[in-house]
Every structure is written in C-alpha cells, then in structure tokens.
Chain A
Amino acid sequence: MLSSLLSIFIVSALFNNVIMAQFLGTCPFLGVSKSIETASGMGLAVIFVMVLANIITYFVQLLLIWAKVEYLQTLAFILVIAGLVQMVEIMLKKLSPGLYKSLGIYLPLITTNCAVLGIALLAIKKNYGLLESVVYSFATAFGFLVAIVLFAGIREQMKYSTIPRSMEGFPIALITTGIMALAFMGFAGFKLPF
C-alpha cells in the first residue's frame, strides 16, 4: 500500500511532470515565472487548490454516478473548481491575512489553470481511491512547484544575458522549457526499486 502510494508520488512528481511531460498548466508556468518569489507563491497556491479540488471532485463524481448523470462531469467539475477557488480566496482573506497576502493574487489565476481540472479528470479516469487521489494531486502540484521554481531561477539569470531580439519573451521561454523537458526525460530511465 505504502509503496504503491510512494510510486504514485515519484512517478507523477518527476517522471510524468505536469508541465514537462503532460503540458498541463503551461499558461501560469510561462506567465508567473518572472521571479522565484512569485513562482513559489503560485506553486504553493496550486498545491493547496489542487489537493482540495481533487478531494471535492472525488465526492462530486460519486454523486454524479449515484444520480446516473456521468456525462455532466466536465460541467460539474469546472463549476465546483471555480466555486472552490472563490471560496478559498474569501476564507483566506478572513482567516489568515498573511497567507492571503502571499497567495491571494494567484488564486483567481488558478481557475484558468487547466492542470487543476485536468488532474481531477485524470484521477477519476485512473480509478484512484480517495487517498491515492490526494497523493496523486499533491505529487503533481509538487512537480509543478519544482518546475516553475527551477524555470524562474533560469529566467532570473536570463535577464543579464543578451538575447537576440526576435527570441525575446515567449520564444526563449519556450525553448528553455524544451531543454528543461529534455532533462526531465532523463528521469524516465530510472527504475523504481519497489
């Protein structure tokens, strides 16, 4: 049991990294990675929302199956996630102003983060139970945090180098990501000892 959870964690955080291998959440990855500070804020907010969203969508899915309307999955999930993000924002504002200050501005951006909906849908597709689903979403979001912080670090350094004019902005960011993805592919060669 524990080893299967551990393998879910390692596989979805490193081998199948959301950005480097699954292309989910590329928009915030490119958009909020100008500095390590904002990048880690975004990463933490994603961990928070993704785990919560996976717990809630797990029960929403049970409800949909009970009501025999599984085809409403997409509609129900996106509404639940949008509502959840709003609620988290309001609650953080009241309960923990400090945390709100550091995470608050990233929360509205997460609704458009396709990784949250994507991972919720994938967890259902993979037939994960509640615990597996939580581990899966936490690992995926952790992978996102690692990727975005690394990328922000590279971008901070890039400020000091001269880049050809046509490569400025998106092109160089995408090519950097491509090279990072190449490095992440190296993880695929590892064999888990369990």
Chain B
Amino acid sequence: MSINFKNELYRGIVTENPIFRIVLGMCPTLATSTSAMNALGMGVSVIAVLTCSNMVISMLRNVIPDKVRIPAFIVVIATFVTVVDLLIAAFIPPLYEALGIFIPLIVVNCIILGRAEAYAAKNPVLPSIVDGIVMGIGFTLSLTMLGAMREFLSAGMIFGYAIAPFKHQFILMILAPGAFITLGLVLAGINFIQNKES
C-alpha cells in the first residue's frame, strides 16, 4: 500500500486546513499566536500529540467498544498531552511560561479529537500516522503565520528579528482584540480569494 505523501500534505495544508478551512480549535489559535516562536512551539506540541494519539487510537480501533470510544480517545490523548506538558516544562521552561494553561488544554482541542473520530478510528495505522503529521503541519503552518503577522504588526519583528525598517510599538496586536481582528481579516481574505476563483 502506498501513500502519496505530497497529496496528503496538500490536503492538510490547503483543502482541509484545520484553522482556515474547518475553523476548529479557535481558543489555542487565538491565545498562542502572540509571536511566531510561541505559535511554532504550540504547533510542534500539537503535531506530537496528534501523531501519537492517531497512531495509538488506530492500533486500538478494533479493541475499543463503540459506545465508550470518546472517553477512551480522551484518555489516550490526555496521556500524550501530559507527556508533552512534562517534556516542555523540563526542557523549554520559557515556552512553558508563555503557553501556560494552553498546553494541558490541548486535550480539549477539537482538532485532535476530531481527527481521532473522523480518521484514526476508521483507518489502518500508517495512514493514520500520516494524517496526524499532515494535519499537524497544516495547523502549525497557519498558526505560525498568524503568530508572525501579529508579531510583525505589534513590534515589527518576526521570530525576534527586527524586519521593519523603523521601530514601532502597537501593543494592541498582541492583546486579545488584535487576535480576534487579525484572524477575522485573514479568514475574510481567504474567503475573498475563494469567491474570486469560483
């Protein structure tokens, strides 16, 4: 059995992009996109949890009774979230400080439970792992893009490097209103392009 990784990647990043197309997992998207680095950290954690949970859930898909599948999925996901939580706390304390409560909240991120239910519970192990990776990459790319935009708008920097030719401070963009407005405008832009194409 062969999996066309390129096609799968296209699916994860463009046609089924978790943030921009399916609009799932709003809370972490809004909260952790304050800077490109935070967004990337969050994205990588989600890739790790999503890939591992997809793998295990797919392995257990014939063992878990249908009626208790959601609690069973949550236990699997929570286990990996705890692993990631402890790893980040031990090795990257600054990121742990920045993401705070949103690392344990990966448990209730709709993207992860959504992929478990829609994909991993019905498909063999290898495609499920690939699905976890591509969906995770789609999430990470869009989140990092949002983070970079907000970081650039607020301080003229991306990943901590000054990009703008002049120094400015626009704190609103890292605060809550900036998050909502940026995401709203980006989604509107995507709709605009889509409407033009069709």
Contacts and interface: CB of A to CB of B under 8 A. Distances in A.
| A in complex with B | yes
Interface in B154-186: 172, 175-181, 183-185
B78 A178 contact: no
A171 B177 contact: no
B64 interface: no
Best-buried of B26, B30, B101, B176 by chain A (most CB within 10 Å): B176
A92 interface: no
Interface in B46-92: 70-71, 74-75, 78-79, 81-82, 85-86
Contacts of B195: 165-166
Contact of A23 (B27, B107, B192): B27
Contacts of B191: 165-168, 171
Contacts of B107: 74, 78, 117
Contacts of A122: 101
Contact of A121 (B78, B79, B104): B104
B81 A185 contact: no
17 contacts: A23-B30, A23-B179, A25-B27, A27-B24, A75-B82, A113-B108, A117-B107, A118-B105, A167-B191, A178-B177, A178-B180, A179-B181, A181-B177, A181-B180, A184-B176, A185-B176, A185-B177
Best-buried of A27, A71, A113, A165 by chain B (most CB within 10 Å): A27
The 8 closest A-B pairs by CB, nearest first: A174-B184, A178-B180, A171-B188, A178-B181, A175-B184, A166-B192, A166-B191, A23-B31
Interface of B: 23-24, 26-27, 30-31, 70-71, 74-75, 78-79, 81-82, 85-86, 101, 104-105, 107-110, 113, 172, 175-181, 183-185, 187-189, 191-192, 195
Contact of B27 (A21, A24, A72): A24
A73 B103 CA distance: 13
B115 to A, nearest CB: 14
Main secondary structure of the interface of B (DSSP, over half): helix
B149 to A, nearest CB: 14
A74 B105 CA distance: 8
Contact of A79 (B71, B101, B175): B71
Given A174-B187, A175-B184, A75 B79 contact: yes
Count class of interface residues, chain A: 35 or more
A73 B78 CA distance: 10
A101 to B, nearest CB: 24
Nearest to A19: B176
A178 B188 CA distance: 14
